[in-house]
């Protein structure tokens, strides 16, 4: 189940990266680069930090193949149909929920504690989007006021909490995904945000 969820998240994030690259009017190669960076970036950083080498997409090229095929389909289809970029945020939220679970479980499989597992869940969920935004010349979403990483953190905490209570894996995954999705979707629909730092001191 986790494997197929991981592939699903890869496809969702590849769609997200492709559409953002398309909005920046990149060519096919640029779309492929951004799509792959979005789809596998978070998992790559996670595996390198955990020492899970070679990283997941080297062991299983299906991740790369899925990302490339998705990017090509989006590249050709988005030029012929109207794409709702606002709906992209909801697709991105779904990918965030899936990758958060994957990151937590991967860390647990490598013997990490609760704190590291939560960090790996967040990293898997948000790092690909950070790389995507940087490549597209934007301030990463996770560094802006939008509630993004916080949703991932709450979902990761819910997942690990349920596992500690010996809840069934499927239930823990479902609840975790719902927590992440609910928080993120509410933030999108209600325009919720975290407080920003306001420096009131004298300028040097």
pLDDT surpassing 80 at residue 197: no
With a pLDDT cut of 90, the percent of the chain lying above it is 67
Domain boundaries, the chain: 2-140
With a pLDDT cut of 70, the percent of the chain lying above it is 92
What local confidence, expressed as pLDDT, does residue 204 receive?
55
pLDDT surpassing 80 at residue 168: yes
Which residues fall within 8 angstroms of residue 82, CB to CB, at 6 or more apart? none
Helix (H, G, I), strand (E, B) or coil at 193: strand
Q: What is the 3-state secondary structure (H, E, C) of 125-176?
A: HHHHHHHHHHHCCCCCHHHCCECCHHHHHHHHHHHHHHHHCCCCHHHHHHHH
**Distances, alpha carbon 26 to alpha carbons 16, 35, 101, 173, in Å:** 14, 11, 31, 36
**Distances, alpha carbon 87 to alpha carbons 19, 83, 90, 162, 178, in Å:** 11, 8, 5, 30, 18
If we measure between CA atoms, which residue out of 70, 75, 78, 67 comes closest to residue 36?
67
CA angle 176–180–184, rounded 5-degree value: 170
pLDDT tens-digit readout, 104-137? 999 999 999 999 999 999 999 999 989 999 999 9
Please state, in angstroms and rounded to a whole number, the distance separating the CA atoms of residues 140 and 30: 18
pLDDT surpassing 60 at residue 3: yes
* Least confident range of 43-47, 114-118, 143-147, 170-174: 143-147
């Amino acid at each position: 189940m986790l494997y197929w969820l991981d592939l699903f998240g890869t496809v969702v994030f590849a769609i997200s990266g492709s559409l953002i690259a398309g909005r920046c009017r990149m060519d096919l190669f640029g779309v492929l680069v951004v799509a792959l960076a979005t789809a596998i970036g978070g998992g790559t950083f996670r595996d390198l930090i955990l020492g899970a080498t070679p990283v997941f997409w080297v062991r299983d090229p299906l991740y790369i193949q899925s990302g490339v095929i998705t990017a090509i389909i989006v590249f050709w289809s988005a030029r012929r149909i109207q794409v709702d970029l606002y709906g992209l945020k909801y697709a991105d939220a779904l990918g965030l929920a899936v990758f958060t679970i994957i990151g937590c479980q991967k860390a647990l499989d490598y013997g990490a504690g609760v704190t590291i597992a939560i960090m790996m869940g967040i990293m898997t969920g948000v790092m690909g989007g950070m790389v995507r935004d940087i490549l597209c010349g934007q301030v990463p979403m996770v560094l802006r006021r939008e509630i993004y990483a916080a949703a991932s953190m709450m979902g990761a905490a819910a997942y690990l909490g349920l596992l500690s209570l010996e809840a069934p894996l499927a239930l823990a995954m479902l609840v975790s995904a719902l927590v992440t999705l609910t928080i993120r979707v509410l933030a999108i629909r209600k325009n919720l945000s975290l407080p920003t730092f306001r420096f009131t001191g004298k300028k040097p």
